[in-house]
């Protein structure tokens, strides 16, 4: 049910348990399958440590953090207990955030002038005495992780991981900004607790055999729960849409050195997702609850895949890597026509996709690296694409489209890295992606009608459809300099541009191609002290360069000189410091957005924090 819009699911991952993060650019479908069409983010969590001695190894961390922009209070505790063959890692984190305060220098459109509160039996609109407070945006979150590691001998490693994350209710702030007839459209619009749970069992075997040198098997079960609750102003009906997903997966991966310079990676994957969606409508006066339309059809999504990657060192300086993957996916959905007169009751997608990649890395010396890669990727339609009903923007409603096909990406990229005397590193890379059968939102007809009544409003019918083509290209430039006396500079610049074809053959900016941005760090590091002064710069997106679907969301954008919505350019200047007080105690703090800019990232439903003071303590034992 992951949608193609802006997602908040990544907040389920606890930053305190994240060992490292990898960002892989370009299609990663050969290894990761469907959805890895533009890039992959890999999050690696901490592993329990075994004891290298006879006595047990006991260690841990505790941390607290405060930030002023949203009155954040965060606490974390973790404990590792390790023996020769067994180890345990337990982690617990608690986060609390109040409503977010924005800056004082920027567009007035981002101010929150009023809010709705229910008093006794009536909805009342109150003036916000502190318009820089985005009311309501606060929420809390709890994370728990438990890992058990067992190493019976040098060849086997078995790890079980349990991850659990839940939030409080949290408001959909941008939906609360919408107006109708001079008054807020919604009295309530919030998400229920976002719950994520994963059980993961991994077994790794190291042995030199004819089939593999390393074998890794993974069995996982994930559970997701999301809900959306909304109620119009002065309307007694509260609508609740609840989704539960059980996701099962099994992977087996082989790693084999096959002669001089040859390396093989191959494996199999099976995935099954069971989606259960319900809807209820409640009369807040009487408490009567009646069945309502669900957000999604009753459905199941499954995928079977096999992949092979071959890595070959052609010469001392030249490395070749190529791979292919075949993915077969099946989706079955049953639509309930009780509330909406769909012209269909079931749909089935049964299709496959073959993807591949070919890349070269040339290192003429230790100080030079040149790489080039061509690859393909795909994304099969999920339940969110084919089956959901929701209001996408004022006056529009998205309806199911059972005839979707997978979108397919063709990608080419190249990069170069140059290192000068171990103190300066420069890198430049570029990519071009052609997306065929791109899944985009377009005007649609249902039962021959281009408009239907939805939540009491005549709404234009839209649906996710396979557009002709979409194009995305971009460049990235990086600089890293190690200067004398512990000083350093790190800078990154990204530019990307995307367009999609419309039905009439014209083009429209692609929604998820963000404007160019730059981040630059000026750092200092000594034995116990680290300092970081950095700036983030984002370019403007003019009204003409806003995608059509974004042009209708004037409630989240500033207004240009002609009164049209646009996203102004913005910057922030911040300073961070960390001091190692003792071997066990670390003190860190800083000021984000020193100049108190009022800004909103492109396409975001919430403005960024204003001047933010941060203080944190971390104890290791």
pLDDT, residue 597, reads: 99
| Strand-strand pairing, 396-398 and 457-466 | parallel
pLDDT band at 4 (very low <50, low <70, confident <90, very high): low
Is the pLDDT assigned to residue 524 strictly greater than 70?
yes
Is the pLDDT assigned to residue 502 strictly greater than 90?
no
Closest by CA to 20, choosing from 46, 1, 2, is 46
Is the pLDDT assigned to residue 545 strictly greater than 70?
yes
Q: What is the mean pLDDT of residues 210-216?
A: 95
Torsion sign (Cα): 16, 18, 19, 22: negative
User: What are the pLDDT digits (tens) for 579-621?
Assistant: 999 999 999 999 999 999 999 999 999 999 999 999 999 999 9
pLDDT band at 248 (very low <50, low <70, confident <90, very high): very high
pLDDT, residue 116, reads: 97
The architecture that CATH gives domain 9-99+136-513 is Beta Barrel (2.40)
What CA dihedral angle connects 377, 382, 384 and 386, to 10 degrees? 100
Residue 563 region by backbone torsions, left for phi larger than 0, else alpha for psi between -120 and 50, else beta: left
User: What are the pLDDT digits (tens) for 399-440?
Assistant: 888 888 888 899 999 999 999 998 999 999 999 999 898 888
pLDDT, residue 204, reads: 98
What is the C-alpha separation between 392 and 382, in angstroms, rounded?
A: 18
**Joined tokens for residue 502:** 């419309």
pLDDT band at 394 (very low <50, low <70, confident <90, very high): low
Strand partners, 30: none
Task: Tell me what percent of the residues of the chain surpass a pLDDT of 70.
Answer: 97
pLDDT, residue 474, reads: 94
User: What are the pLDDT digits (tens) for 12-68?
Assistant: 999 999 999 988 776 676 777 766 677 788 899 999 999 999 999 999 999 999 999
pLDDT, residue 149, reads: 98
pLDDT band at 304 (very low <50, low <70, confident <90, very high): very high
pLDDT, residue 385, reads: 83
Q: How would DSSP label each residue in 220-281?
A: EEEEEEEEEEEEETT--EEEEEEEEEEEEEEEEEEEEE-STTEEEEEEEEEEEEEEEEEEEE
pLDDT band at 338 (very low <50, low <70, confident <90, very high): confident
Low-confidence winner among 84-88, 141-145, 463-467 (lowest mean pLDDT): 463-467
Radius of gyration (C-alpha) of the chain in whole angstroms: 26
**Beta carbons within 10 angstroms of residue 305's beta carbon:** 23
Give the pTM.
0.92
- In 83-133, where does DSSP find H-type helix? none
Q: How would DSSP label each residue in 134-186?
A: ESS--EEEEEEEEEEEEEEETTEEEEEEEEEEEE--EE-HHHHT-EETTEESE
Q: Where are the domains of the chain?
A: 9-99+136-513
pLDDT band at 393 (very low <50, low <70, confident <90, very high): low
Is the pLDDT assigned to residue 360 strictly greater than 90?
yes
What is the C-alpha separation between 563 and 558, in angstroms, rounded?
A: 9
Is the pLDDT assigned to residue 157 strictly greater than 80?
yes
Residue 490 region by backbone torsions, left for phi larger than 0, else alpha for psi between -120 and 50, else beta: beta
| Strand-strand pairing, 170-171 and 368-379 | unpaired
**Joined tokens for residue 375:** 């690859």
Strand partners, 426: 418, 479
Three-state SS at 72: strand
């Amino acid at each position: 049910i992951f949608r193609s819009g802006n997602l908040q699911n990544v907040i389920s991952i606890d930053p305190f348990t994240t060992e490292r993060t990898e960002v892989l650019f370009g299609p990663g479908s050969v290894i990761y399958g469907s959805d890895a069409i533009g890039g992959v983010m890999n999050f690696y969590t901490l592993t329990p440590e075994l004891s290298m001695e006879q006595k047990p190894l006991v260690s841990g961390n505790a941390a607290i953090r405060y930030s002023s922009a949203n009155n954040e209070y965060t606490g974390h505790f973790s404990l590792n207990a390790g023996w020769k063959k067994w180890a345990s890692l337990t982690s617990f984190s608690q986060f609390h955030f109040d409503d977010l305060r924005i800056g004082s220098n920027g567009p007035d459109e981002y101010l929150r002038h009023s809010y709705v509160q229910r008093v006794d039996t009536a909805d009342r609109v109150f003036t916000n005495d502190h318009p820089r407070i985005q009311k309501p945006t606060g929420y809390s979150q709890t994370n728990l992780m438990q890992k058990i590691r067992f190493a019976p001998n040098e060849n086997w490693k078995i790890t079980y991981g349990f991850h659990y994350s839940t939030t409080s209710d949290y408001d959909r702030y941008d939906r609360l900004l919408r107006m109708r007839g001079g008054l807020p459209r919604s009295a309530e619009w919030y998400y229920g607790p976002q719950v994520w749970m994963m059980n993961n069992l991994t077994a790794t075997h190291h042995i030199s055999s004819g089939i593999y040198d390393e074998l890794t098997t993974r069995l996982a079960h994930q559970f997701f729960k999301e809900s959306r609750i909304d109620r119009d102003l002065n309307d007694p009906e509260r609508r609740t849409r609840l989704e539960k997903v059980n996701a099962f997966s099994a992977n087996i991966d082989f790693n084999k050195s096959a002669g001089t310079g040859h390396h093989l990676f191959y494996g199999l994957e099976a995935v099954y997702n069971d989606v259960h969606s319900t809807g209820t409508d409640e009369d807040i006066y009487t408490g009567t609850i009646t069945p309502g339309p669900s957000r999604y059809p009753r459905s199941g999504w499954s995928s079977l895949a096999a992949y092979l990657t071959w890595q070959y060192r052609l010469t001392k300086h030249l490395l070749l890597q190529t791979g292919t993957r075949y993915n077969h996916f099946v989706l079955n959905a049953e639509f309930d026509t009780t509330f909406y007169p769909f012209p269909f009751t079931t749909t089935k997608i049964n299709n496959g996709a073959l993807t591949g990649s070919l890349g070269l890395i040339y290192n003429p010396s230790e100080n030079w690296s040149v790489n080039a890669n061509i690859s393909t990727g795909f994304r099969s339609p999920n339940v969110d694409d084919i089956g959901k009903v929701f209001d996408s923007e004022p006056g529009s409603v998205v309806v199911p489209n059972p005839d979707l096909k997978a979108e397919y990406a063709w990608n080419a990229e190249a990069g170069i890295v140059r290192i000068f005397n171990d103190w300066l590193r420069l890198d430049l890379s570029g990519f071009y992606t052609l997306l065929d059968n791109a899944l985009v939102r377009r005007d649609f007809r249902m039962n021959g009608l281009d408009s239907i009544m939805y939540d009491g409003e005549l709404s234009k019918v839209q649906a996710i459809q396979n557009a002709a083509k979409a194009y995305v290209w971009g460049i990235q430039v990086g600089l890293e300099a190690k200067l004398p006396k512990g000083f350093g500079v790190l800078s990154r610049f990204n530019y990307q541009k995307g367009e999609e074809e419309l039905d009439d053959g014209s083009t429209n900016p692609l929604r998820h191609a963000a404007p160019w941005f730059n981040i630059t760090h000026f750092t200092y590091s000594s034995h116990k002290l680290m300092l970081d002064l950095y700036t983030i710069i984002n370019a403007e997106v003019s009204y003409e360069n806003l995608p059509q679907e974004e042009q209708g969301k004037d409630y989240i954008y500033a207004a240009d000189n002609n009164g049209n919505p646009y996203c102004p350019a913005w910057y922030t200047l911040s300073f961070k410091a960390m001091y190692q007080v003792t071997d066990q105690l670390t003190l860190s703090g800083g000021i984000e957005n020193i100049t108190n800019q009022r800004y909103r990232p492109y396409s975001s439903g919430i403005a960024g924090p204003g001047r933010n003071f941060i203080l944190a303590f971390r104890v290791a034992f």
